[in-house]
Structure formats: C-alpha cells, structure tokens
Structure 1
Amino acid sequence: MTNVATSEPVSVWQLGGPLLEGPVWVARDAALWFVDIKSHKIHRFDPQSDSPRSWDAPGQIGFVLPIEAGGFVAGLQSGLAKFDERDGSFLPIVAPEPDLPGNRLNDATVDPQGRLWFGSMDDAEADATGTIYRLGADSVCVPTSPRVSITNGPALSPDGRTLYHVDTLGGIVYACDVDEAGMLVNRREFARIPNEDGYPDGPAVDAEGCVWIGLYKGWSVRRYSPAGELLETVRFPVSAITKIAFGGPDLKTVFATTANKHCSVIELESEPHAGDLFRFTVDVPGLPGTLIREGV
C-alpha cells in the first residue's frame, strides 16, 4: 500500500485564495465544491468545463456538503445553513455555539448513515473552544469530542466505524470508534506530527482505509495506513495544503486545496501558486461521497 501517487501536483485553478478548504467531490454534479474561508466564497470546479463558478457567502464559511433532497449544508461562522446554488440563498438551520461568538465552523464530513459531522474552532487560533459535533435528526448539535483550539476533519473509515479528527495545533490525529448511538468512544492517538514537519490539517480516507493528511506549512500531503504507519509523502510546490478530496469518475483524481494567508510578500514571490486548487492522480481510489439525509 505504498507509492500510490502517479503524478505530480499541478495547479488547475489559479485563485490565490487566503484559505481554500473543504474540498468535496459531488457525483451528481460531476464537480468539486470547496470554499475560501477568509474571502467568504463558495467555489465549484468542473474538470470537464472551462467555466468554474463562485458564490458569495454571508461570512466566513468552512464547508459545503450536499443534501440528498437538493442543495447543500453550509458551515458558516454563525452556524449551519442551507445553501441553494440556484439563487445563492442561505437559510439558517441551527447555531451550535451562540455563546462562543469568537468561534467559527471549519471542516465536516457525512457518514454512511447520512449524518453530518462537523467541527468548530477559535477563529483567533488560540483558545481551546473548538469541538466535533454530530447533527441530530432534530437539528440538535451533539458535541462528541474534547475541546481544542483548531479542529480539523472529521473523516471516516470505509465501514464508517472509525472516525478520525485532528488537533491541528497539538499536532495529533485521533481515531475514535463510532458507537450505535452515534457517539465517539475509545479515542486514541492515531498519529503525531511534530510542528517542525507542518501542522496536520484536513484528513481524507481512501478505499484501502488509508488516511491522507494535508500539512499546513509542511509542503506536502501524507498517507498513513489504518494502523497509523506513514506510507507516503506527496510533495507540493506550496507550503500550506489544507485538505484533499478524491474525484473524477473513478475517484482516482485527487484535488487539493491550499492557502496563502500565512505568506509574506517575499514568501509569495517564491510560492506564486499558494492559495490555488491543485490536482494529481493516484492508483487507489477514494470513497464515494454520502449525501446528508438527517437533521435538515
């Protein structure tokens, strides 16, 4: 299960965004959706078209994930909202942390049962106020993890029984079991990444159950075995890789979001593609995406 990358990462959309995040392949659109948190943008990239699209969000936005009945759930600083791409509208669903105005939502995934899992974080990236939530059938946000400053993930194993989430500043990727009630149990350290190697950002899981971790300020994406063994490192020409997503008809095209908000003017000269959308190919596919069926 090593050396699965078959091409070098190349920039496919020169956005120069401060903080691209949350890539997700939406099969019904045959397109990649992702966000620029700091620019308050939603982006759609169709690999077969030269006409990518963008929408304005009403504030910082951490993710958009598709709903089975149509449209998307958007993770805004103010809370969860339904986003309708047809008219660009946002309809509030629930605010999980009305008592924490300095927090925002950051990353998310959907489990095989159609349940939304998402994280919050301190927008100042200092206080341990972020946690991982599950959206319940009654639109109640259920906290499932201890508090940290910056959450990333979650991501799920192919069988949906193991959930991975990241304490970015702590440099730790955790694995948890998902019990029958939809709660996280048996939390354990899956991988630890020293800060000098980069900060672990968004995780994604492939069909072999291997966990891919984007490294912020680490110039790379790492692939770990289900046992937490480092298998492969894919190097990038930019320093901050926030997350990957598997796409294309065979789920063997990897899209990677990147950032440049940390770069000085001099650093931007040496990283002209920082903040772009990248693409490379692999010989082990990702997992098919699941549509949100609960809580919306």
Structure 2
Amino acid sequence: IIGTPCSLITSTFVTEGKLEITNRYIYFFDSTPQKACQNDFKYPLSWLQDVQLRRYNLRPSALEFFLLNQTNFLVNFDKKLRRQIYQKIMSLKLPGMKSVFSNLSMSMTPQGILKESKLTEKWVTREISNFDYLMMLNAIAGRTFNDLNQYPIFPWILKDYTSDVLNINDPNIFRDFSKPIGIQNPKHIEDVRLKYESFDDPTGLMKKFHYGTHYSNAASVMHYLIRMEPFTTLHIQLQSGKFDIADRQFHSFQSAWLNIMDSPNEVKELIPEFFYLSEFLVNSNKFDLGKLQISNQILNDVQLPP
C-alpha cells in the first residue's frame, strides 16, 4: 500500500530507513550503514489507532503513529510526501482508528481541531481529567515524547513551596495563569518590556522578542530528567562530557521556583513527568552530581516541599 524512504525519530537518535505498510502490517526497515536492521520493527496494521500530523525541525513533514499496545513512533518524510501518505492511511478506514482526532481534516488549524474535538467542553464537564486534557492539548499542538525539542509542556501550578500545609481554597498559593512564567514576579514585567522595546537588529532579520529563550526545549527536558537514562547521557553530551555545575542543576522545587522569581530569564515550564513519574526525582543510579557552592551540600535526590 505504502513504501517510502523516511527517518525514524526518537529522543535519542534519528534512523534512516524505509516505511512500508501492507494490508496486514506496518514495517520499518533500518538502512543505517553498519547498523542495518538494528531498529527494524513490524506491527499489525489492525493495531493502528491514530495518526497525527507533526513537525520536525520546524517543517510540517512528519507523522506520529499510535498503536493499540501503547507504542508510538514518529516518522519524518520528504515534505511533499506527507500529505499523500496521511491521506492514503485515512482512506483505509481502519476499524481501530477511533481517536477523537482521526476523522478531522488535515487542513484544519490546531484551534479548529480543538473546537471540533469538543475537548474543552468535556474537560469543563469533568468527562476528562486535567492531566488528560493537557496531554490532548499538547497532542493537538504537535508535541511528542519522541522529540525533545517538541516535548509536552505542563505548567507550574503552585507558587508556595515552603508552607507545611496548603489551603487549596487560597488563591495565593497558585501561580498567576493569566501571565506567562517569565513575569510571575511583577517586578519582571518592566524588564521584559524594555528588552522588547530596546532590541534592534541592524540587519532587520531578527524580530523583537520578550524572552531570549523558550519555556520548553531539549535542554530543559534534560535539566529535569537528569537523574534518569537516557537523559543523563544526553545531558552529559550537551555539557561536553560532564555534568553541569551543581548549582545550575534541578535539585529542589523551592530553589527552582525562586529562580523563576529572581530572574526574568528563567522561563522553564514543567513536563508531564512531574504529575505521574516520581521516580525521576530520585537519584537511584547514584550519579555524582556534585556539590552546591554555598552550602557544600552533595546533590542527590530532588528536595521536595514540606
């Protein structure tokens, strides 16, 4: 049915190969020299539950496949081929394709997809949880666990990391959701505005901006997941073969929030693991993460709030 060159994208590598879809199976054949067949896979076509449009390197050229066994994989194609492949798969009208996104038009904007899916209405009426709603918003936005540069984003919710008891009826314990993370401290509003207004690129190529970095990128994902492989290795590779200095690592909730309050340049939001995978907070591999400069404290597990 389909046979085309492609790239298999994961959080740790990009594998050149070929995607083939027959009337019974989905195949990927690894064509990497010296490593051929290492990443080959084969799944029953009947397992396919959803195919979603994705970007790769800012180009609308990828598709993400979701299977019945909870497997998913991201495949990048020649930009001109993606539409043909997607439309061909949709034309098969597979019985397992029952996702809320499966029957939506390829030409729809993310805003249109959200409206047509009625996810917000389902969230408001508590048919889906906060977590599921945010994950679906990330999916509609094209975010994926398979690409660290497009990793799912979850927001900071609390701003009180010192109290022994939290009163969830007190609005003062929550961050201000009407403002981006970079101006949670009102003192930063003027700094950010001045940065935007004073910036001038003599070449005219770069537009004005409020923030010099993004609230989510590959480095920030590694920052949070530094205690878990393969993110430990990825972090070390990013830092030229060693761990970053201890004071810059994620070591406590309180210090992470204080960094946001202290600097308008600290704009990292959170990742989904904060809400379902507590293991990433534990240094179970006993990595030598160094010592904090002022306290001389050895970094180990992430320090939790009271």
TM-score (normalizing by structure 2): 0.24
Give the structure with the higher percent strand.
1
Give the structure with the higher percent helix.
2
Higher RCO, 1 vs 2 (CA within 8 Å, ≥6 residues apart): 1
TM-score (normalizing by structure 1): 0.24
* Bigger CA radius of gyration: 2
